[in-house]
Amino acid sequence: MPQFLNFADADFETLFAALLGAKREDSPHVDDTVAAIIADVCARGDAAVIELTEKFDRLCLTPETIAFSEAEIDAHCERVSAEDRDALELAAERIRAYHVRQMPQDERWIDPEGAELGWRWTPVSAAGLYVPGGLASYPSSVLMNAVPAKVAGVERLAVTVPTPDGVANPLVLLAARLAGVDEIYRIGGAQAIAALAYGTGSIAPVDKITGPGNAFVAAAKRRVFGKVGIDMIAGPSEILVIADKDNNPDWIALDLLSQAEHDESAQSILITDDADFGQAVAKAVEKRLETLERRAIAGASWRDFGAVITVPDLAAAAALSNRMAPEHLELCVADPEALSAAITHAGAIFLGQYTPEAIGDYVGGPNHVLPTARSARFSSGLSVLDFLKRTTLARMTPGALRAIGPAAERLAASESLQAHGLSVRARLEALNRDSG
Amino acid sequence: MPQFLNFADADFETLFAALLGAKREDSPHVDDTVAAIIADVCARGDAAVIELTEKFDRLCLTPETIAFSEAEIDAHCERVSAEDRDALELAAERIRAYHVRQMPQDERWIDPEGAELGWRWTPVSAAGLYVPGGLASYPSSVLMNAVPAKVAGVERLAVTVPTPDGVANPLVLLAARLAGVDEIYRIGGAQAIAALAYGTGSIAPVDKITGPGNAFVAAAKRRVFGKVGIDMIAGPSEILVIADKDNNPDWIALDLLSQAEHDESAQSILITDDADFGQAVAKAVEKRLETLERRAIAGASWRDFGAVITVPDLAAAAALSNRMAPEHLELCVADPEALSAAITHAGAIFLGQYTPEAIGDYVGGPNHVLPTARSARFSSGLSVLDFLKRTTLARMTPGALRAIGPAAERLAASESLQAHGLSVRARLEALNRDSG
């Protein structure tokens, strides 16, 4: 059974704080292993990558076969059914249409002093996308990472995906192709992250690495951060549903389970203003768990980290939600727009009872790579901005320099940075001579 | 003497690659110390912070005196001269005017399937700004961090600034006040970062920490990342000047020295298409070094990391610049706009001979917190976006769910995520019943 909390109870604050603070993921001691792997790939390049792939994935590669050939990709893509291909294409199109709208504008203007100011956005030149192997090898994640990169204008987009025992996921390859990925390498783990960051004989280095992965991949991303950019380090998935009694308990139960089935460390929480409805949802969860394919995983997640919280009103629900800063937030209430206005921290909001979170995982259009573990307090889901950077621009005229240069000199003096001041002074003196 | 490189020489590529790869900063082994300090502050709160401040800053605090009182801030601000205050106010106004334009727009639209999509930006609730003490205690950095935070709408902005032996910098306090900072604490080092991230009895925790600091501060920021958001970890400052022969060598020399005087690890590089001009600038640098107050620092930086590179034409200069991805880039050429168009990676560009980089440090308007160590390949300077986060929004109508739900089911099945599919299926079946 999940936890049942009631806002009205004396111990609510203690229990809720414990729920917020619950550590939901083991951090196995992988850092030393990862450091050694990265050093090995830096030192020996392809040879190290090939050796590690043989060891971990039981797959013999050569520098020539590290990358999938176009013909191999073709062959895999042809194995995908027409229905799956149609679904992937619809998803890719909708994700593209959403992310195109995120493209920021360049700006230039001249201010009252005559200074020309502005900024310009440019894409990262080369990006690497890590795709996990095995069970967590999700074609939808390929689209969610690769489409924004290509919308942003990334010229070279490389995917690494491990193929244990040589088994590739055709849908992953098709998703990469639909998204416009340029290179696909059949490697994984920390060795793939090292290869992307530092390059090898057959893999050119990239500037930014995104994509989910296990503890080894996450540790490797942390280590190469600085040498390259990385996206967030994602934790276990989580959903918060705020629902009033005018909902189908079974629908809400399925929404909670659709996070719980990801991972035993996932967290699904319901907040409702009707205690009976909360009980009905909990009952519906138990019923669905009887037949769910992933009932072992989903059941453990629900039992260990799930919760049903009863609140006196929806304002209290919004306040608790803001403290949790959930990755996914469903608002299944009569007026979801009004409740949404009270939400200050959330990765993604799903409005109304016809918007199950699973729509957002695949075909809604917004990105499904979202901040976990309360990090929506300070960060956002993946977007085109993750594959762009901004260069600021400034151009002074002699008049603008005369107007604001003396203040710069003054501040430079206050910071004891003499050359800073002199670089302005020398120009102003020349201008004064010329006009004098 | 700095290095002199010529693009035409046989060994140019080797020397240039070495210049790119030069390690310009010691990484002292501070990580264990920092981990212990953070653990201590987590465990003992104010008591630990007070003890560490006494140890490192020779200053005895109590929980009541950790924060500056309003009266103390008033008293310090009154010590600032009218000229310095005017200069700071002008800088604050210009930085504000620039950053207000960065505020991103919320968006909502309805797509052809009837799905309502969009996103919404919200500010981080509470941010902490680290300000170094001693020589590197720059009021300009206070403005560059605090103004964007307040423009973004951060409600609670806390500053920490160490005051060794109790000596405070009045300009730092005035800058904080002008920028609208809400709380100022006289603490520094890893203990300040820990206090901001985890909170103590007298300091409430924040959600995001920005600002420069020494190796201990940088290591502490890396450690608290995840618990809170952080800005970049800044390395030593750097400037690249691309200049043709129609420039005053002395001006260019001063621009190079204005980075070199920051830090012995700073790097100043000139690229020119005229070898004689390069020699003239190098000579001007030596002449200025004779009398510069910080000649020991600037001289060491110029000698150890400075370079003058001669190229056959400006296209070659742009190509080298893009490989360097400089923090600051001055384009002192006849047509800086044209050359700027060829620049793909740079933190900030200063166009034309009347825009010395020092203008950007203080009063230009763009932010002076910029990506160092080639990270302009994948990251941007500080902006209002660092204090905002985006929540994506989606709302399906029954019609939209009918249109795109089946594709979501299909993809969920392909990823073996049954509950995901069922959460869509249950709704579609009810809709079909209702309309059947």
Provide, as residue numbers in chain B, all residues whose Cβ is less than 8 Å from the Cβ of A378: 124, 207-208, 228-229, 389
- Phi/psi of residue A395, each to 5°? -140, 115
The Cα A272–Cα B19 span in angstroms is: 61
E-state strands within A161-314: 183-185, 208-210, 229-230, 238-243, 267-272, 307-310
The number of beta carbons lying within 10 Å of the beta carbon of residue B435 is 8
The Cα A122–Cα A403 span in angstroms is: 31
Give the pLDDT mean for A157-162: 97
Give the pLDDT mean for A341-368: 98
Chain A interface, best mutation among B76, B354, B397, by max A CB count within 10 A = B354
pLDDT at A28: 62
The Cα A341–Cα A359 span in angstroms is: 22
Question: pLDDT band at A25, cuts 50/70/90?
Answer: low
Tell me: the pLDDT tens digits for B112-126?
999 999 999 999 999
- Phi/psi of residue A365, each to 5°? 125, -50
Tell me: the pLDDT tens digits for A87-100?
999 999 999 999 99
β-strand partners of A349 = A329, B393
Q: Which residues contact A403 (CB under 8 A, 6 or more apart)?
A: A113, A114
pLDDT at A235: 83
Tokens for B119?
Answer: 């996103």
Give the pLDDT mean for B92-111: 98
Q: Is A105 marked as binding a ligand? A: no
CA-closest candidate to residue B1, choices B273, B278, B250: B278
Tell me: the pLDDT tens digits for B8-40?
999 999 999 988 887 776 566 788 899 999 999
- Phi/psi of residue B66, each to 5°? -60, -40
Q: Is A420 marked as binding a ligand? A: yes
The number of beta carbons lying within 10 Å of the beta carbon of residue A44 is 14
Question: pLDDT band at B6, cuts 50/70/90?
Answer: very high
Cβ separation of B254 and A396 shorter than 8 Å? Answer: no
CA angle B139-B173-B122, nearest 5°? 80
Cβ separation of A363 and B208 shorter than 8 Å? Answer: no
Contact criterion met (CB below 8 Å) for A414 and B84? yes
The dihedral of CA A58, A61, A66, A71: what is its sign? negative
The number of beta carbons lying within 10 Å of the beta carbon of residue B112 is 8
Tell me: the pLDDT tens digits for B37-84?
999 999 999 999 999 999 999 999 999 999 999 999 999 999 999 999
β-strand partners of A270 = A241, A308
Cβ separation of A344 and B226 shorter than 8 Å? Answer: no
pLDDT at B27: 63
Please give the interface size between A and B, counted as residue pairs whose CB atoms are below 8 Å apart.
372
Look at residue B227 and give its three-state secondary structure. coil
Cβ separation of B109 and A124 shorter than 8 Å? Answer: no
Distance from CA of A124 to the nearest CA of B (A): 6
3-state helix, strand, coil in chain A (%, to 5): 50, 15, 35
Q: Is A93 a catalytic residue?
A: no
Catalytic residue among A328, A330, A357, A368: A328
Give the pLDDT mean for B156-163: 97
Give the pLDDT mean for A411-422: 96
Give the pLDDT mean for A182-206: 97
From A91, A111, A258, residue closest to B411, measured CB to CB: A91
pLDDT at B140 exceeding the cut of 80 = yes
Contact criterion met (CB below 8 Å) for B410 and A84? yes
Look at residue B132 and give its three-state secondary structure. coil
β-strand partners of A356 = none
- Phi/psi of residue A91, each to 5°? -60, -50
Provide, as residue numbers in chain B, all residues whose Cβ is less than 8 Å from the Cβ of A380: 389-391
pLDDT at A6 exceeding the cut of 90 = yes
Give the pLDDT mean for A388-399: 98
From A254, A352, A378, residue closest to B389, measured CB to CB: A378
Contact criterion met (CB below 8 Å) for A159 and A181? yes
CA-closest candidate to residue A163, choices A182, A187, A127: A187
The number of beta carbons lying within 10 Å of the beta carbon of residue B335 is 13
Question: pLDDT band at A27, cuts 50/70/90?
Answer: low
The dihedral of CA A164, A166, A172, A176: what is its sign? positive
Q: Which residues contact A431 (CB under 8 A, 6 or more apart)?
A: A398, A401, A402
pLDDT at B26: 59
Q: Which residue is closest to A406 within chain B, CA to CA?
A: B87
Give the pLDDT mean for B308-324: 97
Tell me: the pLDDT tens digits for A315-354?
999 999 999 999 999 999 999 999 999 999 999 999 999 9
Distance from CA of A331 to the nearest CA of B (A): 10
More confident residue, B137 or B295: B295
Tell me: the pLDDT tens digits for B242-283?
999 999 999 999 999 999 999 999 999 999 999 999 999 999
Provide, as residue numbers in chain B, all residues whose Cβ is less than 8 Å from the Cβ of A368: none
Q: Is A379 marked as binding a ligand? A: no
Provide, as residue numbers in chain B, all residues whose Cβ is less than 8 Å from the Cβ of A255: 423
Contact criterion met (CB below 8 Å) for B281 and B310? no
Contact criterion met (CB below 8 Å) for B5 and B278? no
Q: Which residue is closest to B368 within chain A, CA to CA?
A: A392
Question: pLDDT band at A435, cuts 50/70/90?
Answer: confident
From B117, B122, B389, residue closest to A98, measured CB to CB: B117
Contact criterion met (CB below 8 Å) for B360 and B393? no
Tokens for A126?
Answer: 């080369």
Q: What is the ipTM of this complex?
A: 0.95
Domains in chain A, start-ordered, CATH in brackets?
3-25+235-364 (3.40.50.1980), 31-109+124-230 (3.40.50.1980), 396-435 (no CATH)
Catalytic residue among A183, A327, A330, A357: A327
pLDDT at A1: 81
Average pLDDT along chain A: 95
CA angle B50-B54-B58, nearest 5°? 150
The Cα B228–Cα A325 span in angstroms is: 13
From B228, B293, B353, residue closest to A418, measured CB to CB: B293
The dihedral of CA A243, A248, A254, A260: what is its sign? positive
Catalytic residue among B183, B238, B261, B327: B327
* Alpha helices in B45-179, H assignment, sequence order: 46-57, 70-78, 82-100, 139-152, 170-179
Q: Is A328 a catalytic residue?
A: yes
Residue type, B345: H
Q: Which residue is closest to A250 within chain B, CA to CA?
A: B426
From A349, A411, A422, residue closest to B88, measured CB to CB: A411
pLDDT at B1: 81
pLDDT at A26: 59
Look at residue A107 and give its three-state secondary structure. strand
Chain B interface, best mutation among A337, A388, A391, A397, by max B CB count within 10 A = A391
CA-closest candidate to residue B360, choices A396, A348, A389: A396
Q: Which helix (H) or strand (E) holds A141?
A: helix A139-152
